[in-house]
Amino acid sequence: MARRTPLWDRHVALGARMVEFGGYEMPLQYSGIRDEHLAVRGRAGVFDISHMGEVLFAGPGAEASVQRLVANDVSRLVPGGALYGVMCTEAGGIVDDVIVYRGLGGDHFLVVVNAATREKDVAWMGEHLLPGTEMRDVSDLTALIAVQGPGALDIVAPLCEGEVRELRPFRSTGARVAGIDARTSVVSRTGYTGEDGVEIYIDADRAGELWDALLDAGRDHGLVPAGLGARDTLRLEAGLRLYGQDMDEGVDPYSAGLAWTVKLAKGDFCGSDALHRIAEQGPPRTTVGLSLEGRSIARHGHRVRDGDRDAGEVTSGTFSFTLGHGIATALVDPASAGRDRLDVDIRGTMAPATVVPLPFYKRSRS
């Protein structure tokens, strides 16, 4: 039986098509993936992402524990600051990709994990905690709503008590939103769409009020509810990875193109010995962007060909509504990653693809 987020009844009332994702019954789409995708690129969309897991770390050992769990360097986080990182196995495979926040008080940390991996992650974290750390899975108490798009701040900022408009990317602040008194109400300038916007953490039992207030405030800004379908096409255009599809425990962060999140210089952490070795020897595979001609869609698991040789496989693929052609990411042999062109075997037909740098889409900053 799939779990429901606190906003389930609202999705159903809006006519969303519901699907199971990460153990939750989630909205795939409301009006349609294309509409929602283009709304987020042009105006704004609101997403229920309450399926994401949140794990709190407190106590004198909290920083050292999170530093041990995550390959990025959390010591440089200021209070309210966030970073993207991966947790790795001793062999250097990715356990999950996460966002880490240093709490506003400075001494606790919040790690945001994927829904599908939450239980595995919590067990993994528990096994690798250092003394003096209290860990608490607060996922079921916490709802998460994202507002994304060029109009997002114009919708959210007037509802907030606090300096939300001045927040820099990857910073968060405690702020009452829409006058809702919640124990937790944190506005973070983060997202998974490649657009400007915020993600708001709020008590699960107040999430409905926040959702309603956001939709209400967004009415004159063209805000639409957006589902997981658009979230996936948006994140892929923005070159962002999806755990379970672009990476798993069989993929190291160098192969996944996430070397920038691995800070070997910070000292020992889970997987650091293996990651040192991979960094020296070079990763077994390389993540590349593929731009396809026309409307052919490469999909997860399709083989990539380099001439008459198998070069690897597509990890994510879709039709880019912004660019008007197919896009994909693939894990390929390092030798093939340097080619200008590769082919994707789409059901027996070789679809020519140009190797392009990620991301496929970058918003223009005004």
Partner 1 sequence: MPDLSGYRFTATHEWVETVDGGVRVGITDFAQAQLGDVIFLELPEVGATLKAGGRFGVIESVKAASDLFAPVGGRVAEVNGGLADAPERVNSDPYGEGWMLRLEDVDEAGADLLDEAAYARLTEEAAH
Stretch in the footprint of partner 1 (CB under 8 A) among 123-131, 155-163, 198-206, 290-298: 290-298
Residue 32 within binding range of partner 1, rule CB under 8 A? yes
x-or-dash pattern for partner 1, window 207-246, by CB under 8 A? ----------------------x---x-------------
Q: Which is nearer to partner 1, 34 or 176 (CB)?
A: 34
Eight-state DSSP code of residue 359: P
Stretch in the footprint of partner 1 (CB under 8 A) among 31-39, 48-56, 76-84, 114-122: 31-39
d(CA 291, CA 360): 8
Number of residues forming the site for partner 1 (CB under 8 A): 16
Could you tell me how many helices (H) and strands (E) the chain has, helices first? 9, 22
Q: Which of 164, 288, 297, 344 binds partner 1 (CB under 8 A)?
A: 297
Residue with tokens 């994401």: 52
Residue 318 within binding range of partner 1, rule CB under 8 A? yes
Residue 133 within binding range of partner 1, rule CB under 8 A? no
- Strand order of the β-sheet with 3-4 is 3-4, 24-29, 17-21
Q: Which of 117, 190, 272, 296 binds partner 1 (CB under 8 A)?
A: 296
Cβ atoms of residues 264 and 276 within 8 Å: yes
Instruction: Please give the structure tokens belonging to residue 182.
Output: 């919640």
- Strand order of the β-sheet with 142-148 is 172-174, 185-188, 197-203, 142-148, 44-48, 223-225
Eight-state DSSP code of residue 150: T
Cβ atoms of residues 304 and 344 within 8 Å: yes
Stretch in the footprint of partner 1 (CB under 8 A) among 157-165, 295-303, 328-336, 355-363: 295-303
d(CA 80, CA 77): 8
Q: Which is nearer to partner 1, 17 or 341 (CB)?
A: 17
Residue 319 within binding range of partner 1, rule CB under 8 A? yes
Beta carbon of residue 298, minimum distance to partner 1 (angstroms, whole number): 11
Q: Which is nearer to partner 1, 142 or 296 (CB)?
A: 296
Residue 295 within binding range of partner 1, rule CB under 8 A? yes
Q: Which is nearer to partner 1, 347 or 365 (CB)?
A: 347
In DSSP notation, 163-187 reads --TTPPTTBEEE-EETT---S-EEE
In the complex, which residues of this chain contact partner 1 (CB under 8 A)? 17, 28-29, 32-34, 229, 233, 294-297, 299, 318-319, 347
